[in-house]
Amino acid sequence: MGAAARAEELKVLLSRQKIARRVRALGAQITADYRGRPLHVIGILKGSWVFMADLLRHLDLDVTVDFLGFASYGLGTASSGEIRITKDLDASIEGLEVLIVEDILDTGRTFNHLERFLAAHRPKSLKVSTLLDKPTRRIVPVRADYVGFEIPDVFVVGYGLDFGHRYRNLPDIRIVQP
Ligand code: IMP
Ligand code: MG
């Protein structure tokens, strides 16, 4: 498939309605878990920004926000194993209760680097939420505290996720055939 394939030719894995229901439930769960405590939410660029925008509006908490640019993939669907900071944190997280918002947990390599990078900045607590999880792909044994959906080993796009920088704007999550 070329990167220019028409979006409507790609099979829908998770509809926008299904995503919306699950994100609302995750928001309620996180709100209950952090009740009465300020929460610093860090979105990992770029894949998580759509999920982050929706999730935040379901958090009934005293929330502050930052973004961290952490790139692991080049073009295509194969992990380069290389990790690069494309945007650093704006504010210190020392002593804060931090929730990381990720798009997808795949081999776990990015997550692993991310957790160690953030833990070194000494937050009071550090939890992780991911919209998608592909547990069968795991190479580094990491796990998220809040998972939207477990999905099989397929490459997906939409709702912030890209293939070669495209398709982030699709409202549903669709499968890119290898
Ligand atoms: P990991 O280091 O292998 O866990 O890779 C995680 C990163 O790979 C995610 O943050 C995504 O940017 C990218 N990624 C992994 N699987 C997919 C997918 O199915 N669609 C789009 N991006 C993906
Ligand atoms: Mg990513």
Using a 6 Å cutoff on CB, does residue 106 contact ligand 1? yes
> Is 66 part of the annotated catalytic residue set?
no
Tokens at 121, concatenated = 């900045």
Using a 6 Å cutoff on CB, does residue 133 contact ligand 1? no
- The pLDDT of residue 35 is above 60: yes
Which residues are close to ligand 2, an ion, with C-beta < 5 A?
47
pTM: 0.92
Which residue has a Cα nearest atom 3 of ligand 1?
107
Q: Establish how many alpha carbons lie within 13 A of residue 78's alpha carbon, considering only the half-sphere containing its beta carbon.
A: 1
Average pLDDT, the chain: 92
Which residue has a Cα nearest atom 12 of ligand 1?
47
List Cβ neighbours of 18 (8 Å cut-off, separation of 6 or more).
none
Using a 6 Å cutoff on CB, does residue 103 contact ligand 1? yes
Using a 6 Å cutoff on CB, does residue 112 contact ligand 1? no
The predicted-structure confidence for 99-149, as pLDDT tens digits, reads as follows 999 999 999 988 888 988 999 999 999 999 999 999 999 999 989 999 999
Which residue has a Cα nearest atom 19 of ligand 1?
155
List Cβ neighbours of 60 (8 Å cut-off, separation of 6 or more).
31
Question: What whole-number distance in Å separates Cα of residue 88 and Cα of residue 29?
Answer: 28
Element (H, E) at 23: helix 16-33
Q: Establish how many alpha carbons lie within 13 A of residue 133's alpha carbon, considering only the half-sphere containing its beta carbon.
A: 17
Residue 86 near residue 45 (C-beta atoms within 8 A): yes
Using a 6 Å cutoff on CB, does residue 155 contact ligand 1? yes
Measured in Å, residue 161 CA sits from the centre of ligand 1 at 8
Residue 70 is predicted with a pLDDT of 82
The predicted-structure confidence for 45-100, as pLDDT tens digits, reads as follows 999 999 999 999 999 999 999 999 987 655 555 555 667 889 999 999 999 999 99
Measured in Å, residue 125 CA sits from the centre of ligand 1 at 25
Domain residue spans of the chain: 16-154
**CATH class, range 16-154:** alpha beta
Q: What separation in angstroms does the CA of 59 have from each of 27, 28, 80, 177?
A: 5, 7, 34, 35
Residue 137 near residue 106 (C-beta atoms within 8 A): yes
The label of the residue with tokens 């992990």 reads: 79
Question: What whole-number distance in Å separates Cα of residue 14 and Cα of residue 43?
Answer: 21
